[in-house]
Amino acid sequence: MGAFFVILVIRFTYYNIMIKIVFNLVEFLPEETPTDNCIWCNKPNKKNAAHIISKQLLKSNLKSNILKHSVCTYCNSVFGKHIEDWFLKYSPIATFKDIVYSKRKLNHLKYIPNFIWLDSISEWVVIDHSNIENVINPQLLLSSENTLALFLTYHSEEQYIAEGITYSEIFKFSFKNKDYTRYINKKLPKNFSPRFFIYKNKVIVIANNERDLDRIINKYTSSINKKSKTEISSIEELITSDYLVHYQWSFSKYLKWASKISFEFLSLIESPLFVSASAFSDFRKHMVNPYSYKNDDKHTVPYILGKGYEVNRLSPAGWVGMFLKIEKKILLPYFNSINKNCHKIFIYELDGLLLSTVQIFNIEPCQIILAKGVQLEKIYYIEYDYDNDSLKFYYTERKLFNSASNLLDFSRIDDVFQIPSSTQAIVAMDENMRKLFL
């Protein structure tokens, strides 16, 4: 293998005609090959309709995304229970799904932890799950400048004044009558501001330590005694225009989900016989074994640097073989389409390693080694455009890319490819990482 490989970025949108001529990029529609045994457990169990990409991540129930004769009920339920259901409730993927497909309804909020990050105001906010439509309660918080600020949501202060009561009066009444609950949680982010908020008609005082909790109570006491006005900040506009960011995240769940999508598309495109090869045996066994998911929740990431989405990566940097041991560091080419508003999957083989990159929404792609000792004659690209609700399949012959290290081969088509400086992707998994999967 050459010392370096070029990252090739295919411009499908603007150079579609040129790509088809130069690279023989062919669009095709695969058909499922019926099989007696499940492609995952290799048992003749009863089959059911298995959605390769979760149907909740597509606008409509596209036939080319469904395996009707390849996945048994049991294996399909393992993925639904341990991977898809989790991501569609607790992860940033659920936020993207709601914003893209549900016009910001954010229906999944009832499942997530109470604390989310609102990037526009650089602040953690608290969700009242008893009233999802409001999204966030009124919250009287002590800012880093040691000032009290009242954050409002969809219901304006004027509406409550018309009803004869204001948020400030609710807090004041509860405080004077000591009708509130103190709540300390050391797992809260370090930069979480102490605050009062209303949850199911009950005032809660919350902080991540005793000192901060006492600090906001003392500040509020002083505010009441001096009869000073509390600064009121409405986040109504901010909350409708920004992503709501919340966390639970799991590297291992994400990699398994991406692997599941790749493997099932590979079965659809090539055949169940292809994916039944012994090279996939360990991969298949671990993927459908419920016990292989037992550590996933132990390694979830509740907060990343105390902030929100994309502060750090959500997938490991470089290539990962979850159930493989790669003895040496090697260099691998990395493909990615610059098309936007798409789920994107590349599947290809190099030197016996079956590689896949999977990108859901605009989260950075997973780079996965599915198996070694496999030969695949084509490079496949699958793209779901969620603006146009279209799922398309492409392939090209791998020989067109085999000399990727020789830049002269691409000198006449550098307007089609972006060719940045050569970069290396390292195949590695230390023991701590391996414990996530095995």
Confidence of residue 20 (pLDDT cuts 50, 70, 90): very low
Same domain, 330 and 193: no
Same domain, 292 and 376: yes
Taking only the tens place, the pLDDT of each residue in 352-404 is: 889 999 999 888 888 889 999 999 989 899 999 999 999 999 988 766 554 44
321 pairs with which residues across the strands? none
> What φ, ψ does residue 346 adopt, rounded to 5°?
-110, 140
Answer yes or no: is pLDDT of 100 > 70: yes
Same domain, 45 and 162: no
Position 2 in a domain? no
Taking only the tens place, the pLDDT of each residue in 132-165 is: 665 667 788 888 888 888 776 544 445 544 444 6
Position 102 in a domain? no
Give me the residue label for tokens 């909020």: 109
Position 285 in a domain? yes
Helices (H), 312-383: none
Residues in CB range of 178: below 8 A, 6 or more apart: none
Q: What per-residue string of b and e applies to 286-299 under the rule 16 or more CB within 10 Å gives b?
A: bbbeeebbeebeeb
Residues in CB range of 14: below 8 A, 6 or more apart: none
Alpha-carbon distances of 337 from 100, 194, 241, 263, 401, rounded to whole Å: 20, 44, 27, 20, 15
Position 134 in a domain? yes
Query: Tokens representing 270?
Result: 């090539």
CA distance 354 to 421: 24
Same domain, 273 and 236: no
Domain end point (choices 244, 262, 290): 244
Same domain, 63 and 192: no
Position 412 in a domain? yes
Residues making up the chain, counted from first to last: 438
Position 98 in a domain? no
275 or 429, greater pLDDT: 275
Alpha-carbon distances of 301 from 82, 131, 144, 306, 432, rounded to whole Å: 16, 26, 25, 11, 15
The pLDDT of residue 400 is: 55
DSSP 104: S
Query: Tokens representing 70?
Result: 């390849």
Range of the domain at 413: 8-91+250-434
Sign, CA torsion 105/109/110/115:
negative
CA distance 173 to 269: 66
201 or 403, greater pLDDT: 201
Domain end point (choices 189, 215, 244): 244
Query: Tokens representing 183?
Result: 């709540």
Query: Tokens representing 113?
Result: 């932890």
CA distance 98 to 407: 43
Same domain, 285 and 384: yes
Same domain, 281 and 382: yes
Same domain, 44 and 142: no
Answer yes or no: is pLDDT of 307 > 60: no
Same domain, 323 and 415: yes
Taking only the tens place, the pLDDT of each residue in 35-71 is: 999 999 999 999 999 999 999 999 999 999 999 999 9
Cα R_g (the chain), whole angstroms: 26
pTM, 2 dp = 0.78
Same domain, 175 and 217: yes
Taking only the tens place, the pLDDT of each residue in 27-40 is: 899 999 999 999 99
423 pairs with which residues across the strands? 5
Same domain, 61 and 87: yes
Question: Could you write out the DSSP letters of every residue in 379-434?
Answer: EEEEEEETTTTEEEEEEEEGGGTTTTT-GGGGGGGTTTEE--S-B---B---HHHH
Same domain, 140 and 206: yes
Total domain count, the chain: 2
Sign, CA torsion 316/318/321/326:
negative
The pLDDT of residue 321 is: 83
CA distance 242 to 285: 41
Query: Tokens representing 102?
Result: 């549900």
Position 36 in a domain? yes
Position 13 in a domain? yes
Task: Give the type of residue at 78.
Answer: V
Taking only the tens place, the pLDDT of each residue in 225-242 is: 776 555 656 555 555 555
Domain end point (choices 244, 268, 288): 244
Whose CA is closest to 143, among 170, 166, 125, 160?
Answer: 125
Answer yes or no: is pLDDT of 287 > 80: yes
